[in-house]
Amino acid sequence: MRHNPYRARKFNKNTYVVDIGAVCYPYLLLGEEKALVIDTGMNPANLREYFETITDLPMMVVNTHGHGDHTLCNGFFDEVYMHPNAIFDAHGGKLSAEEGPFQGKTPDFNPIPVTEGHIFDLGGRHIEVFETPCHSPGDLMFLDHENRLLFTGDNLEVGQVLIFYGDGETGATVKIHRDILKKMEAHYDEFDYICPAHNGSPIDKSILKYMIENDERILSGIEGTADLPSPSFNVDMFLPDEERRKYVRCSEWKGTWVIYDTRRVYESKGLFGVNDGSL
């Protein structure tokens, strides 16, 4: 029998999370009529075949954003949704079946655009889509109304949040991050737990408020450490440019970590163009 690397952990009556190491957590959400997979990871083993050992419901995929560690296994599924801004990251010729890092071992896919306000109806379970662009311009979060879960991708977790991707008008800033978290704070009474893409899940929802406090400390002028001691941040991988490392800091506050470029706090003017932080 062929070895399958996946192991799912069930954390409520109809929700599973798969921990496959350094890449993101794929989630499997079961409704009465359909199943939703949030992110697929980048292991070349067939994730769909594994999930079919758990459920026989028809499955569709939605991505929190377009980075490869969240999307490379999308092609095992027939129906894949992502924000239009994520399509370039995941499907703009970079990660095709022929050109991607697995060189054809994972199938290609045709993404379906999805934007704010869309609701995935799984049958007795409704997942609402929110646009939260910061870590990447195609970021989405998902609110599971019946199970009171918020799926946050890479914009909210306890390992670290990286706020330095993108150039020009799409460049991420600390202010943008604070603003998208404040947007989700308006729904604070609608969920009990947060389900991030890395570094532990589910986690207590109070992390949202602490992360907002962390951002506001940075915005007030309190600078983080240059040592970048986040538990899962590989400096050589994320910051190969030694000149840029001079400006990157890590701010730790109440169990949250924000890694950011000091030139991109309120705006990214100068190095990356101008971004006023508006959503």
DSSP code of 225? B
Closest CA to 64 of 169, 191, 195: 195
- Report whether 131 contacts 139 (CB < 8 A): yes
Residues with pLDDT less than 50, the chain: 1, 93-104, 168-169, 269-279
| CB proximity list for 236: less than 8 A, separation 6 or greater | none
- Hey, what are 144's tokens? 């599971």
Cα R_g (the chain), whole angstroms: 18
Q: What is the pLDDT of residue 31?
A: 98
Q: What is the pLDDT of residue 240?
A: 79
Q: How confident is the model over 18-67, as pLDDT tens digits? A: 987 667 999 999 999 999 999 999 888 899 999 999 999 999 999 999 98
- Report whether 31 contacts 123 (CB < 8 A): yes
**CA–CA gap between residue 157 and residue 152 (Å, rounded):** 8
Q: For CA atoms 89, 93, 95, 96, give the dihedral sign.
A: positive
Q: What is the pLDDT of residue 269?
A: 45
**CA–CA gap between residue 68 and residue 55 (Å, rounded):** 26
DSSP for 50-97?
Answer: HHTTT--S-EEEE-SS--HHHHTTGGGSS-EEE-HHHHHHHHSSSS-T
Residue extents of the structural domains in the chain: 8-102+113-154+170-216
Q: What is the pLDDT of residue 53?
A: 95
Q: How confident is the model over 152-183, as pLDDT tens digits? A: 999 999 888 988 765 544 568 999 999 999 99
- Report whether 153 contacts 143 (CB < 8 A): no
| CB proximity list for 242: less than 8 A, separation 6 or greater | none
Q: What is the pLDDT of residue 1?
A: 38
Closest CA to 163 of 139, 136, 145: 136
- Report whether 195 contacts 151 (CB < 8 A): yes
- Report whether 206 contacts 253 (CB < 8 A): no
Closest CA to 250 of 225, 218, 221, 217: 225
Q: Is beta strand 35-38 parallel, antiparallel or unpaired with respect to 27-30?
A: antiparallel
CATH superfamily of 8-102+113-154+170-216: Ribonuclease Z/Hydroxyacylglutathione hydrolase-like (3.60.15.10)
H helix intervals, 96-224: 174-185, 206-219
